[in-house]
Chains A and B, each alone.
Chain A
């Protein structure tokens, strides 16, 4: 996920092809960083959901987290459990969507990561 992890040879090679700093950023660095950015986004999905639910529980008047905490005082598990399943499903779909995007938009990345 780091620009420094790109082999230095690649930047030198780009310079010998006449690339300016801007061109290197545009054609060499950014395209190789984007798929790694998706990886890191996928890792952050869990914490993002956790904080979303927590924030809705504390200060909100709508949302899944708000509803769960609304019915919590009645121990209405018949409502809470389906909402939890909804959260799982949504998070899973987001993850699958990001994976699909990574595979379609950066088909070269799988073999690079395997190295």
Chain B
């Protein structure tokens, strides 16, 4: 219970989402830097596969975006970054709630003993 697939998957999701938030912060900080390539963080597909294998431990992987660049060689899209930032924040809050739910189930189990 304390080291279940669910908690491992939630921790992996929290790690991946916070890595994504750092990447987005980097992308937006460099929105006007000539030659900068946007960074992307992937973990969802690997996490889904890992949960199917009853594991849940996944490391997020980073890559550079292949989106077309502007004339200055930069390919950061402010709208895309802002939207995925908001999405990452909400997913993160959602995952923290799920973690808290896990903890409160454990607490309930401890009390019934």
> Do A and B assemble together?
no
